[in-house]
Amino acid sequence: MNMLESRNTVILSYFILGFAAFTALFPLALMLLNSLKTVPEIIASPLAPPEQLVWENYANAWKHSKFSRTFMNSAVLVFLTTALVLSTGSLTAYVLARKKIKTWALVTAYLLATTTAPIQLFLFPLYFGFAHLGLINNIFAVSVVYCAIYSPFSIMLLRTYFLAVPKELEEAALVDGATPWQVFSKVYLPLVWPGMLTVALIIGMYTWNEFLIATTFLQNQESRTAIVSYFLLSGQYETNWGELMAGAVLVVMPIIILFIFLQKKFIDGITGGSVKG
Amino acid sequence: MARVEIENIDKNYGAVKILKDISISVKDGEFLVLVGPSGCGKSTLLRMIAGLENISAGEIYIGDRVVNNLPPKERDVSMVFQNYALYPHLTVAENIGFSLILAGTPKAEKERLVHDAADVLGLSDLLERKPKNLSGGQRQRVAMGRAIIRRPKAFLFDEPLSNLDAKLRVAMRAEIKSLHERFKTTAIYVTHDQVEAMTMADRIVVMNEGRIEQIGHPLELYDKPVNAFVAGFIGTPSMNLLEAKVDLSGKYPMALFETGEKLPLPVKANLKDGNDIIYGLRPEYCKISKTGHMSKVEAIEPMGSETHLILRFAAQRVVMAIHDRLNVSPGENLTFEPNVEKVVIFDKKSGHAL
Amino acid sequence: MYRLFILPTMIINIAVISIPAILTIILAFYRWDGISDPVFIGLENFERLWNDRIFWKALRNNLIWTALFLTFPIIIGLVVASLLLTVRRGSTFFQIIYLFPLVISAVISARVWQGMIYNPQSGIVALLERYGLDLYDPLSRTATALYGVAVVDLWHWWGFMAVIFFAALRQVPQEQIEAARLEGATYFQMMRWVLIPGIMPTITLMMIMTVIWSFLVFDFVYVMTQGGPASSSEVLSTMAYRRAFYELKVGNAAAIAIVISLFGLVATFFYLRLQRGEGE
């Protein structure tokens, strides 16, 4: 759009947008700035620049949060969850997008219903069931829980990508003698991978950031995620805000970097399914 | 009502020049049609007049005011969009009276004006409907109603008929024309359809690649195209444009084709022997003649009222329109004779008419 | 064959969500500490909730939360999205910035606000106090704790609304906007007559989802106040969590979970009815 807007309108718009951007960034700027300061400096003024850069904050946060262990746990959890969601979700999304049979409408309705179910509705029996089966502190078991929670959203998003593939491609393949599995793996998968990547990013982010399930099911030091161990660290060392901010920077860094490099996919994924045309 | 003056307008998107030095003077009450192939810049020009695009250089006057820096709402023009721009959540009456709603016109006044406009357009029975319950033609009329209710200085039309089927398009063409007769408001109408341009315009502006090729009355463009582009663009089936050389060796000037065939040329002072030319011949200025030039029939397209013959002559394609029913088949030979008086000659290099 | 394709999704989903959800509904009628055998007690769990002061407090807090999130993020989101539509240039850049708070974990956001803004020693609050403003840590007082948490969640959330609404606004046909401009619409008239009606389905969906999400809120409250001080910021989900895992009253927690779900059901029901109305 290239409209002749009056200059004042544009300036005022930018001013408001800029103020909104400042609001969004201000706490994060404080986080970054104070992660390099000593506690007395922070107390003197959270806005002042550091007199000298206190990199030990990062080293201490890394050590006290056992990040070398917990980052790995988080990464494994992200990988397992994403792989599970993509493999099971893409199959379902394909069927829901392309096969018009009555029972599929029921499946869709069921999946949509589970997206609105509060976690507390199934958390308690799930926890005691897992405890009974000895699955507490089991990262793979938690990734299955995440898969169940994130699948409906992922399937609805993936479905739109499957719908965008011309039906003729499938029909041509079937005429040429392809099996359903071949149609899915040889025709569709190569065409919907941008959608898979988008879903992977969103699910990866959710999993990395998730707190309620993680803190409930992964309790010991060996299985804890980065978020949970940061939460516990911040409970213990409540006074050392410099170290806490350094820990915060460390935890958000992987997400922020991915987000900046793949922002278009993130925005696609975040808005996907929510905008009714 | 007002004249619209366009003076030396340029439009650039970065380094890309969309419009180059456009000047048009639209008289008060005139119906001017901008026509050209898609991408020629005609819609951009219209949107610049409306204030929806910035002007890179030059000036636009509406009435006596320079409007370059005025926002759209202060230009007092109304525009009919290709997709009608009707609001799906508003009724026909609200859509027609939208500008009055925005201006806060009192209710009684608003209703009177909406009813007047609906009367003119035959929409009186549909006022409470929503756009989705209207046919294409009715939607088109609502869009028109929205434009006329404001009594603006000028109407702008951006391909308003291109979403209608062929039959409706012909009917709406006449309707728009008669509305213009009635209101006598200056109208600028953009279309890619040269038939629309020919049938509706007081004057036509033919545009191509961001430039004006020719401005003139419809028949003037038809009879005296200034260049090969206009000649080819105006008229259906379009003018035959055949490549040839001038041959002045004989008694009469001739066009010599590469294959050795010759066609007669009108006597013109500025023909030079051996010059490369384009031989312009309208399909209807051709007749079958026993003594004429030999060609081969490639295809026959009966249209009903007339028949188009597609001939191969001198290794080029020649279309001929005749009114008699003819019993020929593809592959047969046919002799034809051009009407020399009506032949137009263009310089091959520049494309300009000689 | 295609049934096989959806089997993995369904098995996982039913095992993790449906079966435990059904068990929760059953447990709501039992007294159970998670270890010994459950005892059937009929509606006693619900009766207890009815007489539980904290339950009403939490329910009220959820309703306040819903009201806050139905207004602020939606209004801010609409205004920002419409301005992004006006300026166009830089809209991608602004969207990225507005989404930063969303992609950061609630735990981190909560701690940054607690330490750097609300903290009476190290935060902006402390700094402004020194300049003579009468400020305090909102999380430390019963009257303000809930709002203190809500502000952080609002900060985290509004950018999402702005980005969603901007994506919807871009699908409003361009000519509708241009026609209104030609006919003299001001900014507010454009919003009132063209933009908001044009994206009404998206706004409705977001409002319904806001109601559902408002009853699910957990992380920010749990991390920042644990529902305190003195239960002043307790919401239903933190209350249920505490009942189940701290007080080992699983039946009681299950009853709360059912109340939470009911609000979601009501919202979903309204949404489906609205949609059916549109389809006519």
Question: What residue spans define the domains of chain B?
Answer: 4-232, 241-347
Per-residue pLDDT of C14-69, as tens digits, reads: 999 999 999 999 999 999 888 888 889 988 899 999 999 999 999 999 999 999 99
Q: Does C102 sit within 8 Å of A270, measured CB to CB?
A: yes
**Per 3-state DSSP, what percentage of chain A is helix, strand, and coil (rounded to 5)?**
75, 0, 25
Q: What pLDDT is recorded for position A109?
A: 83
- pLDDT at residue A31 greater than cutoff 90: yes
Does the pLDDT of residue A257 top 60, yes or no? yes
CATH at C233: 1.10.3720.10
Residue B163 is predicted with a pLDDT of: 86
Q: What is the pLDDT of residues C235-266, one digit of tens each?
A: 999 999 999 999 999 999 999 999 999 988 88
CA nearest C191 in B: which residue? Answer: B102
The whole-angstrom separation of Cα B325 and Cα B306 is 8
pLDDT above 90: percentage of residues in chain A:
52
Burial class (CB in 10 A: 0-12, 13-18, 19+), B68: middle
For an interface test with C, which of A25, A91, A107, A116 has the most C Cβ atoms less than 10 Å from its Cβ? A116
- A129-167: pLDDT as tens digits: 999 999 999 999 999 999 999 999 899 899 889 988 888
All residues of chain B having their beta carbon less than 8 Å from the beta carbon of residue A4 are: 51-54, 69, 71-72
Mutation target to probe the A interface, by most A beta carbons within 10 A, among C36, C116, C186, C226 is C116
Which residue, A99, A119, A78, is CA-closest to C6?
A: A99
Instruction: Show the DSSP H helices in C88-190 as ranges.
Output: 91-103, 106-113, 124-130, 145-169, 174-182, 187-189
pLDDT tens digits along A34-56: 999 988 888 888 888 888 888 98
Q: Which residue of A has its CA nearest to C171?
A: A277
Partners of A87 on chain C (C-beta within 8 Å) are 8
pLDDT at A247 over 80: yes
Q: What is the CA radius of gyration of chain B?
A: 24
Chain B neighbors of C197, CB-CB under 8 A: 87-90
**CA pair distance C1, B238, nearest whole angstrom:** 58
Are B330 and B343 in contact by the 8 Å Cβ rule? The answer is no
pLDDT of A277 > 70? The answer is no
Give the type of residue at C17. Answer: I
- Across the interface, of A99, A244, A270, the residue whose CB is closest to C111 is A244
Q: Which residues of A are less than 8 Å from B52 in CB distance?
A: 2-4
pLDDT attached to residue A234: 81
What is the predicted pLDDT for the residue at C154?
96
Looking at residue A276, its pLDDT comes to 44
On whether the CB atoms of residues A50 and A201 are closer than 8 A, the answer is no
Using 50, 70 and 90 to split pLDDT, how confident is the model at A238? low
**Tens digits of per-residue pLDDT, C213-225?**
999 999 999 999 9
Check if the beta carbon of residue B206 is closer than 8 Å to that of residue B62.
no
Q: Check whether A103 has a pLDDT greater than 80.
A: no
Residue B305, burial from CB neighbour count under 10 angstroms (0-12, 13-18, 19+): exposed
Residue of chain A whose alpha carbon sits nearest to that of B69: A4
DSSP B241-283: EEEEEEE-SSSS-EEEPTTS-EEE----TT--TT-EEEEEE-G
CATH topology of domain B241-347: OB fold (Dihydrolipoamide Acetyltransferase, E2P) (2.40.50)
* 3-class SS of residue C182: helix
Contacts of B123 (CB under 8 A, 6+ apart): B92, B96, B117, B138, B141, B142, B145
Full set of structural domains in chain A with CATH:
65-236 (1.10.3720.10)
Q: What average pLDDT values come out for chain B (354 residues) when binned by 10 residues?
A: 89 90 93 93 93 91 90 88 90 92 90 92 91 90 90 91 88 90 92 92 94 94 92 90 90 88 83 88 89 90 90 91 86 90 90 86
Q: Note if the bond before C229 is cis, omega within 30 degrees.
A: yes
d(CA A123, CA C18): 11
Q: Which residue has the higher pLDDT, C278 or C172?
A: C172
Cβ neighbours for B141, distance < 8 A, ≥ 6 positions apart:
B121, B122, B123, B175
Report helix, strand or coil for C20: helix
Give the pLDDT confidence score for residue B269 in this predicted structure: 62
- Cross-chain residue pair C182–B82, CB shorter than 8 Å: no
* CB-based contact B36:B208 (threshold 8 Å): yes
Res B221: pLDDT: 93
Residue pair C136/C51 in contact by the 8 Å Cβ criterion? no
How far is C-alpha C164 from the geometric centre of its chain's CA atoms? 15
pLDDT tens figures, B294-321:
899 999 998 888 899 999 998 999 999 9
Averaged pLDDT, C125-131 = 87
| Cβ–Cβ contact A120 with B under 8 A | no
Helices of type H across chain C: 2-13, 19-27, 44-50, 53-87, 91-103, 106-113, 124-130, 145-169, 174-182, 187-189, 196-198, 200-216, 219-224, 236-245, 250-279
Q: Which residue has the tokens 């009879």?
A: B223
SS3 B301: strand
CA distance A101 to A99: 6
- Cβ–Cβ pairs < 8 A, chains A and B: 15
- In this prediction, residues C147-159 reach a mean pLDDT of 95
In whole angstroms, give the CA distance from residue B157 to residue B122. Answer: 20
Number of structural domains, chain C? 1
pLDDT of residue A237: 54
Position A1 confidence tier, pLDDT thresholds 50, 70, 90: very low
For residue C75, which phi and psi values (nearest 5 degrees)? -70, -50
3-state secondary structure of B199: helix
Whether residue B54 and residue A2 make contact (CB cut-off 8 A), yes or no, is yes
Closest Cβ opposite residue B78 in set C182, C186, C193: C182
Q: Which of C175, C184, C200 is nearest residue B73 as measured by Cβ atoms?
A: C184
Residue B83: what pLDDT?
A: 87
Please tell me the distance in Å from A216's CA to the nearest CA on chain C: 9
Chains contacting chain A through 3 or more C-beta pairs under 8 A: B, C
Per CATH, the number for B4-232 is 3.40.50.300
The 10s digit of each residue's pLDDT in C161-202 is: 999 999 999 999 988 999 998 888 888 999 999 999 999 989
Q: Which of A2, A3, A4 to mutate to test the interface with B (most CBs of B within 10 A)?
A: A4
Task: Retrieve residue B32's tokens.
Answer: 């001017």
pLDDT tens for B217-272 read 999 999 999 999 999 999 888 999 999 999 888 888 888 998 888 898 888 767 88
**Which residues numbered 6-35 in A keep a CB inside 8 Å of some CB on B?**
6
User: Which residue from A152, A143, A134 is spatially nearest to A75, judged by alpha carbons?
Assistant: A143
Q: How far apart are the C-alpha atoms of A97 and A84, rounded to whole Å?
A: 20
Q: Which residues have C-beta within 8 Å of that of residue B175, sequence separation ≥ 6?
A: B141
